[in-house]
Structure 1
Amino acid sequence: MATPDAAPDLPLIAEGKVRRLYRLPEPGRLLMVATDRISAYDHILTPGIPDKGRVLTGISLWWFDQLADVVPNHLVSTDVPEEVAGRAMVVEELAMFPVECVVRGYLTGSGWAEYQRSGSVCGIALPDGLQDGSRLPEPIFTPATKADYGEHDENIDFERLVGIVGAEAAEELRRLSIAIYTRAERIARQRGIILADTKVEFGRRADGTIVLGDEVLTPDSSRFWDAASWAPGGANHSFDKQFVRDWLTGPSGWDRTGDAEPPALPADVVAATRARYLEAWSRLTGIDDPLARATAGVDGVTTDRITAMARVVVDVMPKPEILDPQGKAITGALGRLGHEGLTVRQGKRFEITGDGVENRLDEVRRIAEEMLANTVIESYDVRVEQ
């Protein structure tokens, strides 16, 4: 049984604020474990957030699938030691770039503070009159240095990034980062979440290929806002650790500029933070209780353990300009592709139910892949409902 502080009997080679890296016997393979620890303002807080490691791992695995055609990633498998199952993955060992690649589609956080001082963020001039929470005319790439524990990350401009990693790598990091954000922002928005900004990390394989590493698009590494209540200049409801930051700088009475350690998180803040992380996971994947499914070993995408009572569901996302309340676009696409016996619901899903479902998962995957070639379909998500 996986536990928050479980440690496999492997050499520990690195430990960050949240994750631990272990050396595996197979050359070039590492075990990356996500703990339940939470950090804010360069401090590890206590207590941790129950199940947070599972959430980070589950969301990252889901996004790796969504981004597979955008950028290669470091995931090798989820066949991990039992004591860290659900919160760990086997990954490639990469030569990591010593920078964090941040993309902002909305102005907030340190970007908002910098904009107020200079009208720009990381050397990128922005229009006058923006507010905290304003959507930017287009996503901007604002890299940062990676600080050691207890020190602050530093936003840098593109020229300084070039000085750190070289011109060719800097251009590719910017291209990949913006491509990741653009794809993810669209998917999240269709599911009622605004992806305000995110940070990603990359490494190189021995052959020079740049690969997405670490976690991706989690509530730890991104700002997720409720699309229904978003408004520039307002206090946007978040599904990330901003809730913890707000408590620290407000009701807790802690002075982040002083030398004192942050106070312990009260039980209600821990519970509310856990609920926000789980809601982000549920909204993104469309699974009502992803934690229960992950614990049971049903991930909704790659599992082959399907009972005869299961239903294979494909949530289909038409392109934004397609108005499809009755599902006509998807129905037509399925017909043109020659598929029968599929039920279209609510304009944005089709499913297979009844006897023999357990033998049709590969068929559904093939159908979903074909859907990507259709001119009205943006993307899709396959899952299993028991």
Structure 2
Amino acid sequence: MTTPHAQFASALDLPLLHAGKVRELYDLGDRLLMVATDNISAFDHVLTSQIEHKGAVLTQLSLWWFDQLGVEHHVLSAEVPSAVSGRAVVCEKLEMLPVECVVRGYLTGSGWVEYQESQSVCGVPLPAGLTDGARLPEPIFTPATKAAVGEHDENVTFDEIVATIGRADAEAVREKTLAVYATAERIARERGIILADTKLEFGKRPDGTIVLADEVLTPDSSRFWDAQAWQQGKLESFDKQYLRNWLLHESGWDKASDTPPPPLPAEVIAATGDRYREAYERLTGQAFATDGMVPQATATPDRIAAMTRVVVDVMPKPEILDPQGKAVTQALGRMGYEGLTVRQGKRFEVEVDGEVTPDRLEQIRTAAETLLANTVIEGFDVRVESGETSRAEVQ
């Protein structure tokens, strides 16, 4: 089985705690830096090919979901070293529970294989006559073991999870998993996407509180289908199923062999990346920009001077798309600082070669009004940081 290596260790110069299939964990003392790489795995192999900006999609989509769900989670901040900007978060150190908390609202994948053999999934009996892609009467909790890199996760029964982590924790993660799915399934459905199933992970704080951790509801950990196509009996996915299908049916690779999968052709890499970005954009309603950053733009100042850098400070509306501010506010509350609310905006820098002419700046201003026109943005402030300083604000 192929295994990953740390890609950002030399750039970060931090103690590396773990390099997984997709994520790298670095020690920050009492906290962790969790970095999402552009690696992609399939059938327990980390492929030699990467999907450009995939790590940023996973990180930014997870942050969006954490904010939508309104549950306690491990993220403390998205202010991270520039080498991993947009693809990393600072998070709590938790005692991770050794279980993959899978919830299925639809029958497919390994669940479909198991259903054909036993008319059940992970010990949960299901009605007869279901087909691949069928919606289940109600979502079911179908946990799996959390295997080491290169080894297989295995579906297990709830009783086996009880034996592993104890009944109280097993019942708690089952309840939390089903609750997260119920909220996320509704949100996705409103955006024309079916959340067929998803995998969650949880960790325990020193006081015993169980919180949502790792990534959440991404194309790596979930199956997303186009709702309109599903109604027509087709399973059009916005996840890595396209890549899996290529490996199984077109690549010539034998899954049962010990041979690692072949490199992906350029068209499969591009198509997979497109599906990940489309999932992000359809769910969030926002265009995805490189490493999760809004495309850089500025507004027209009253005076124009030779400049090389323009700073744009974007402020979202209170409690809207602000997972970092919300996380810091919650952390302050846990530390005993009450009555403090943190709002976290974004800072973007636009570098321009040479002098900015009035025509060029007007073009940038028009682009800004188009790209930053969003009901969740309260406004943005523009500052020129070199040359003669001017200021303009757009509401």
Compute the TM-score of the two structures, normalised by the length of structure 1.
0.77
Give the distance between the partners of 1:146 and 1:293, measured in 2 at CA. 29
Matches within 5 A, 1:253-268: 253-268=252-267
Other-structure match for 2:52: 50
Other-structure match for 2:272: 273
Structure 1 position 291, deviation (Å): 4.0
Other-structure match for 2:345: 304
Structure 1 position 121, deviation (Å): 0.3
Q: Contact between 1:142 and 1:157, CA under 8 Å: does it hold in 2? A: yes
Give the distance between the partners of 1:299 and 1:37, measured in 2 at CA. 32
Give the distance between the partners of 1:260 and 1:53, measured in 2 at CA. 26
The AA in structure 2 aligned to 1:45 is L
Structure 1 position 150, deviation (Å): 1.7
Change in 2 beyond 3 A, CA 1:273/1:80 = same
Change in 2 beyond 3 A, CA 1:305/1:48 = closer
Give the distance between the partners of 1:112 and 1:293, measured in 2 at CA. 35
Give the distance between the partners of 1:148 and 1:266, measured in 2 at CA. 28
Residues 1:192 and 2:196 are matched in the alignment: no
Give the distance between the partners of 2:119 and 2:277, measured in 1 at CA. 36
Residues 1:74 and 2:74 are matched in the alignment: yes
Structure 1 position 5, deviation (Å): 3.7
The AA in structure 1 aligned to 2:105 is G
Cα deviation 1:148-186 (Å, max 9, x = unaligned): 122111001111110001011111100000000000000
Structure 1 position 287, deviation (Å): 0.8
Give the distance between the partners of 2:158 and 2:84, measured in 1 at CA. 38
The AA in structure 2 aligned to 1:237 is E
Q: Which runs of 5+ in 1 are unaligned?
A: 315-350, 360-384
Give the distance between the partners of 1:54 and 1:256, measured in 2 at CA. 29
Give SS of 2:375's match: strand
Structure 1 position 311, deviation (Å): 3.8
Change in 2 beyond 3 A, CA 1:296/1:12 = farther
Other-structure match for 1:92: 92
Give the distance between the partners of 1:299 and 1:214, measured in 2 at CA. 27
Q: Contact between 2:56 and 2:291, CA under 8 Å: does it hold in 1? A: no
Cα deviation 1:19-49 (Å, max 9, x = unaligned): 0000013x2x000000000000000112100
Residues 1:173 and 2:159 are matched in the alignment: no
Q: Contact between 1:86 and 1:295, CA under 8 Å: does it hold in 2? A: no
Give SS of 1:230's match: helix
Q: Contact between 1:101 and 1:142, CA under 8 Å: does it hold in 2? A: yes
The AA in structure 2 aligned to 1:304 is G
Structure 1 position 84, deviation (Å): 0.5
Q: Contact between 1:281 and 1:290, CA under 8 Å: does it hold in 2? A: no
Matches within 5 A, 1:184-263: 184-231=184-231, 234-263=233-262
Give SS of 1:154's match: coil
Residues 1:14 and 2:18 are matched in the alignment: yes
Compute the TM-score of the two structures, normalised by the length of structure 2.
0.75
* TM-align CA RMSD: 2.3
Other-structure match for 1:116: 116
Change in 2 beyond 3 A, CA 1:191/1:6 = same
Give the distance between the partners of 2:346 and 2:237, measured in 1 at CA. 34
Structure 1 position 6, deviation (Å): 3.2
Other-structure match for 1:23: 27
Cα deviation 1:178-205 (Å, max 9, x = unaligned): 0000000000010011000000000000
Residues 1:133 and 2:137 are matched in the alignment: no
Give the distance between the partners of 1:66 and 1:149, measured in 2 at CA. 30
The AA in structure 2 aligned to 1:140 is I
Give the distance between the partners of 2:125 and 2:291, measured in 1 at CA. 46
Q: Contact between 2:219 and 2:279, CA under 8 Å: does it hold in 1? A: yes
Give the distance between the partners of 1:257 and 1:358, measured in 2 at CA. 55
Give SS of 2:169's match: helix
Other-structure match for 2:61: 59
Give the distance between the partners of 1:271 and 1:128, measured in 2 at CA. 39
The AA in structure 1 aligned to 2:255 is R
Other-structure match for 1:334: none
Larger-Rg structure: 2
Give the distance between the partners of 2:244 and 2:173, measured in 1 at CA. 29
Change in 2 beyond 3 A, CA 1:83/1:170 = same
Give SS of 2:293's match: helix
Q: Which runs of 4+ in 1 moved over 2 A?
A: 4-7, 288-293, 295-312
Residues 1:285 and 2:284 are matched in the alignment: yes
Q: Contact between 1:97 and 1:202, CA under 8 Å: does it hold in 2? A: yes
Change in 2 beyond 3 A, CA 1:265/1:117 = same
Q: Which runs of 5+ in 2 are unaligned?
A: 1-5, 297-313, 323-343, 348-364, 382-393
Give the distance between the partners of 1:184 and 1:11, measured in 2 at CA. 35
The AA in structure 2 aligned to 1:102 is V
Q: Contact between 1:22 and 1:32, CA under 8 Å: does it hold in 2? A: yes
Structure 1 position 271, deviation (Å): 0.1
Structure 1 position 304, deviation (Å): 3.2
Give SS of 1:110's match: helix
Other-structure match for 1:155: 155
Q: Contact between 2:56 and 2:292, CA under 8 Å: does it hold in 1? A: no
Give the distance between the partners of 1:238 and 1:282, measured in 2 at CA. 14
Give the distance between the partners of 2:170 and 2:292, measured in 1 at CA. 39
Q: Contact between 2:161 and 2:170, CA under 8 Å: does it hold in 1? A: yes
Structure 1 position 66, deviation (Å): 0.6
Give the distance between the partners of 2:99 and 2:40, measured in 1 at CA. 21
Structure 1 position 288, deviation (Å): 2.8
Change in 2 beyond 3 A, CA 1:295/1:85 = farther
Change in 2 beyond 3 A, CA 1:118/1:13 = same
Q: How many pairs were matched up? A: 313
Q: Contact between 1:17 and 1:38, CA under 8 Å: does it hold in 2? A: yes
